[in-house]
Structure 1
Amino acid sequence: MFCSLPSLTALLLTLAYCTAFVKAAYSLVDNYSGASLISGFNFFSEPDPTHGFVRYLNQNDAQSQGLLSVSGSSVYIGVDSKNKAPNGRASVRLESKKLYKKGLFILDLAHMPSSTCGTWPAFWTWGSGKTWPELGEIDIIEGVHTNTANTMVLHTADGCSISGTGLTGVVKTKNCYINAPGQSPNAGCAIESSSSSSFGTPFNAAGGGVYAMEWTSSGIKIWHWLRDAIPADVKSGNNPNPGGWGTPQGNFAGGCNFDTKFGDQKIVLDTTFCGDWAGNVWTSNPTCKSLAATCNDYVANNPGAFAESYWRVNYLKIFRQT
């Protein structure tokens, strides 16, 4: 791109424009859809680190039990909704084989797990290789039970906080340190979406949509659009420009060195049940509390409740800034 104008003022304006253009330029690194999503991810089948009432299946078992299927570029990732599960409900947790540090991550979903008591679905990244959360964690999509507004969170070691400005979401906590004084354990710095259709059942009713997370040295931003509001540059595929997307729902910036607090990250997509979050807040949700004495009891004995607890992924694209 050639940028030149005659006057000094015009030159400065042009340089500012060109700098913004260069910063916004991204090139496609990986495109996971259909079979490439399956081949690009590992199937985690160990006990749930978040102590969920779940049994994560390997690829063969997930496919044979109907919890995983590919149709063209679309991937279905479900949970067992047919059988009682006294030892935890069968589900799938995918973790990327590649590690990523900074970039633009765009996920197009036709469907996410519905707003159902007992569920805890999430799309997130975490820094593996050291004791959690020494390399950070970025929760892009997350919620429990009957939630319809998405929760976005960063979890870090000590020394990372956000200003809570430049966003449309609602800041719940500002200190990203998992043991921050004055915050619940593991709360991190949390932002709730201002959209009541950004998660679960209403998201699905709108035909799904797109989530985008931009991670740079300056911070982490998260956007969300329902199907009928996806920006043209996202729809077109390979030249997204976050500079034209307006104010993000989540803007994590401020007193944090994002180059040191966040290392190489795995991408994770999973659905767990109960556990450290959903299990602990079961009795504080009137709808769920009325269904069973405990979260585990409900999940174990009501398989049909989880028929809509599935992901249908159109694509996951990762871009690197150029």
Structure 2
Amino acid sequence: MPPTSLTDLNFETVLDLAGLLNMWAATAEAKSLAGIRDGKVYLGVDNTTENTTGGRQSVRVISKNVWTNGVYIADIAHMPGNACGVWPAYWTSGPDWPNSGEIDIIEGVNLQKTPIITLHSGKNCTVTNTGSAAGSVLTDPDCDSSTSSGGCSQTSTNTHVYGDGFNAINGGVYVMQWTTSAISVWFFPRSSIPADITAGAIEPPTWGTPLTRFVPSGCDFSSHFKSNDIIFNTNLCGWA
């Protein structure tokens, strides 16, 4: 069923110094930075004000509910393209960060052509990427957010899953399956979304190899990842 309102989302009111912009409240709807357009949720960035002095206005929306484990499905028609200063993200995070975990499903910055998919945790959590698609590379197995890498990330060579390449194919569906034995992310282009997802009767074993898969190797996922909410935002002029 197409969305009719944004009542399931909280708008966060903060000045995000990491990104030098004002992540602000539900007045975003009045400013046309958020709303329902043609049956789809729209989240945007101020693209009309010139030479802002207090940071360009954008939005960060957070789900009112929290979850542990499950299948997260996001049908995305368009995301920010590859541009200097742009830092979009679709992610989950727990209340006791980093001890309750963070899962970055889509994240990139500037002219980056492919996303970085990352887990952030407290200490004593390492993973492998056994079962990930060819071309996905685990850059660091240690998910501890206090290390120099700040988490365990996988990169991809698929340029259709992020930014301009994603928009060129009219987007598609991102799916994240979170269990105690693996955290997996799939991307399905608009032209090949599985019928079970469209029908609302999901069968994950039929989806094939995920874009990325994180398998615990010296990590108890049930204690490191729990009670996460879902977040969408676009930062500007920053990077974590």
> For the superposition of Structure 1 and Structure 2, which TM-score range results when normalised by the shorter chain?
over 0.9
In the other structure, the counterpart of 1:40 is: 8
Q: For residue 72 of structure 1, report the CA deviation from its aligned partner.
A: 4.6
- Give the greater-gyration-radius structure (CA): 1
The answer to whether 1:79 aligns with 2:45 is yes
Instruction: Sort the Cα spacing of 1:276 and 1:72 in 2 relative to 1 into closer, same or farther, 3 A.
Output: closer
Q: 1:141 aligns to what SS in structure 2?
A: strand
In the other structure, the counterpart of 1:280 is: none
Write out per-residue CA displacement over residues 281-317 of structure 1, whole angstroms, 9 at most, x where no aligned residue. xxxxxxxxxxxxxxxxxxxxxxxxxxxxxxxxxxxxx
The TM-score, its normalising length taken from structure 2, stands at 0.94
In the other structure, the counterpart of 1:197 is: 160
Check the 8 A contact 1:34/1:72 in 2, yes or no: no
* 2:34 pairs with one of 68, 71, 89: 68
Please give the alpha-carbon distance, in whole angstroms, between the structure 2 residues aligned to 1:74 and 1:265: 24
Equivalent positions of 1:204-215 (< 5 A) are 204-215=167-178
Please give the alpha-carbon distance, in whole angstroms, between the structure 1 residues aligned to 2:188 and 2:153: 20
In the other structure, the counterpart of 1:103 is: 70
The answer to whether 1:114 aligns with 2:77 is no
Q: Which amino acid aligns with 1:240?
A: I
Please give the alpha-carbon distance, in whole angstroms, between the structure 1 residues aligned to 2:191 and 2:112: 22
Q: Which amino acid aligns with 2:196?
A: D
The answer to whether 1:165 aligns with 2:165 is no
Q: 2:36 aligns to what SS in structure 1?
A: strand
Q: For residue 275 of structure 1, report the CA deviation from its aligned partner.
A: 2.4
Equivalent positions of 1:41-60 (< 5 A) are 41-48=9-16, 51-60=18-27
Please give the alpha-carbon distance, in whole angstroms, between the structure 1 residues aligned to 2:165 and 2:215: 29
Structure 1 residue runs without a partner (length 5+): 1-30, 278-322
Q: 1:39 aligns to what SS in structure 2?
A: coil
* 1:243 pairs with one of 170, 186, 205: 205
Q: 2:187 aligns to what SS in structure 1?
A: strand
Q: For residue 68 of structure 1, report the CA deviation from its aligned partner.
A: 1.5
Q: 1:214 aligns to what SS in structure 2?
A: strand
The answer to whether 1:136 aligns with 2:76 is no
Q: For residue 166 of structure 1, report the CA deviation from its aligned partner.
A: 1.1
In the other structure, the counterpart of 2:215 is: 253
Q: Which gives a bigger RCO, structure 1 or 2 (Cα 8 Å, sep 6+)? A: 1
Q: 1:253 aligns to what SS in structure 2?
A: strand
Check the 8 A contact 1:78/1:92 in 2, yes or no: yes
Q: Which amino acid aligns with 1:242?
A: P
Please give the alpha-carbon distance, in whole angstroms, between the structure 2 residues aligned to 1:73 and 1:97: 21
Identity percentage of aligned residues: 37
Q: For residue 276 of structure 1, report the CA deviation from its aligned partner.
A: 3.4
Please give the alpha-carbon distance, in whole angstroms, between the structure 1 residues aligned to 2:146 and 2:26: 36
Structure 2 residue runs without a partner (length 5+): none
Q: 1:212 aligns to what SS in structure 2?
A: strand
Which structure dedicates a bigger proportion of its chain to helix? 1
In the other structure, the counterpart of 1:13 is: none
Write out per-residue CA displacement over residues 216-257 of structure 1, whole angstroms, 9 at most, x where no aligned residue. 111200001111121111122x11111011111111112211
Please give the alpha-carbon distance, in whole angstroms, between the structure 2 residues aligned to 1:57 and 1:163: 38
Write out per-residue CA displacement over residues 55-106 of structure 1, whole angstroms, 9 at most, x where no aligned residue. 112112x122111121353111110001121211100100010111110000
Check the 8 A contact 2:87/2:239 in 1, yes or no: no
The answer to whether 1:145 aligns with 2:133 is no
Aligned residues: 236
Higher mean displacement: 199-208 or 170-179? 170-179
The TM-score, its normalising length taken from structure 1, stands at 0.71
Q: For residue 113 of structure 1, report the CA deviation from its aligned partner.
A: 0.9
Please give the alpha-carbon distance, in whole angstroms, between the structure 1 residues aligned to 2:191 and 2:106: 19
